[in-house]
Amino acid sequence: MEALRWDTLVNNVLDAAEEHQLWVPGDRIVVAVSGGPDSVAFLHIMHEISKHHVPLELICAHVHHGFRKESDEEAHRMMELARQLGIAFEWIKADIPSYMRQTGQGPQEAARNRRYAFLHEVADKYGAASIALAHHADDQAETVMLHLLRGSGLSGLAGMKFKRREKNVELIRPCLRINKTVLVEACNTQGFTYFHDESNDQRKYRRNAIRLDVLPFLGQYNGQLTPSLNRLAEIVSEEDDFMEQSAHDTYRCLVQVNGGRQTFEAPSFLKLHVALQRRLIKLILNYLPLDSDFVDFTRIETIRRKVMDTDVTTWSLDIGQTLACTREYDLISFGIRTDVQDRSYEYRLAQWSGTYELSLMEINRYIRLMPMSPENYHVPESADQAAFDADHLLMPLVVRSRLPGDTMKVLGLNGSKKVKNIFIDDKIPPSVRPRIPVVCDGAGNIIWLPGVRRSDVAPVRESTSAILYMTVGDSAIQG
């Protein structure tokens, strides 16, 4: 790469930084470096900027995921690179396979969560203003397409933002307008050593399949597909910001908070544009103690249509997770239901055939049990799923409400732990806890807290011949 091209690349990052106010002179920035060409080139760009354009203090952060044999060499090379550039280096050897077993998360989710947790730890240690990530234009195109296929709204189509606050630091992405090929070319022509992660070529991961199959296929019909998707993301991002600001302004004007309940007057709500009605309900739900994945379009639209129906002036709509939306004449309110605290239940499952769904009517949830052969087995992707060696489970299974003093032997931990303390450690809101059932084996041992943790009872091993796969979910909202 000619000097001009390298200068152009550096200037592109500087332009993005100025446009989006990504840093100010003297900022301390954690730069995430995986060892791939994107992040290696990005570290060199940031180093160039810090030495010759804007005084910045950089910290190179690397996560050894424990998946691949090359990871040891990658960590060593990144450490050496940071030393050569005179940059502080922090790294962690994260045992992601063990973390997956403890949390019930899939490999990509577990690796991402552990990686971001470490980056925040490094930022806290150094008092950094931001965490810089090497996401580029191709990553952005993949993200937009992934969200499009999932049926996302505007926020999803906005893709990744140049700057987004998370916890106490800014996540910044200065390379979002730069293509991956440019970053790879920079490494090759400048002689920067980098590594290729072969897991990026595995189509079993959805994002990889989109990059390797979907985008090339669609590219036959639009040779500028990646720039088009990036342009869409930038346009939608600005419009999404405008709508979000309008929703916050409307919230301040219409919504009152009294005793933990959020209320507004129905006539004022009915005057709003439908887009703003949905945004306002979403904002209210986000202020309630709900899981982030719980706030989806279906739930928002169910509530909106209920409020729009003026024929009935008093009602209560169970919206899940111990919460309800109620109407008393013209007053709409959101808050914790008053009838969930003392609900107790117990279901015994001695035997069943095929896939069986147990309806937990008391908490509007269900547990689905599915027999599975080892050939079809896949590691649970979240704590909402759990797999057990069926031959080592003592029957009958019991699904019940939580009892005082309940304890569980958590997978990956020594000894037993009180369920109450598990909830506290996992930051499960008190209002959510009554909707978490307890699954026990025939000996009374708690084997699973759906959505939270599983025990060390009957883990799936290489010798397992029969698997019981369980999932938990919310029952459909009754309108």
Binding residues: 34-39
Q: On the CB side of 430, how many CA atoms lie within 13 Å of its CA? A: 2
CA distance 360 to 362: 6
CA distance 323 to 398: 26
Whether 367 and 91 have beta carbons less than 8 Å apart is answered as: no
- What lies within 8 Å, CB to CB, of 358 at 6+ separation is 347, 349, 366, 367, 368, 369, 399
Edge-to-edge, what's the strand order for the sheet holding 365-372?
356-360, 365-372, 467-474, 385-389
Determine whether 179 is exposed, middle or buried from the number of CB atoms within 10 Å of its CB (0-12, 13-18, 19+).
middle
Whether 56 and 25 have beta carbons less than 8 Å apart is answered as: yes
CA distance 38 to 30: 16
- Tokens standing for 287? 């202020």
CA distance 5 to 284: 49
Q: In b/e form, how buried is each residue of 381-405, taking b as 16+ CB within 10 angstroms?
A: ebbbbbbbbbeebeeebbbbbbeee
CA distance 400 to 362: 10
- Tokens standing for 198? 């072969």
CA distance 143 to 155: 12
Binding site feature residues for ATP: 34-39
Instruction: Tell me which residue of 310, 318, 349, 345 sits closest to 334, measured CA to CA.
Output: 318
- Tokens standing for 316? 């209560």
Handedness of CA 454, 455, 457, 461 (dihedral sign): positive
- Tell me which amino acid residue 304 is: R
CA distance 335 to 346: 27
Whether 37 and 124 have beta carbons less than 8 Å apart is answered as: no
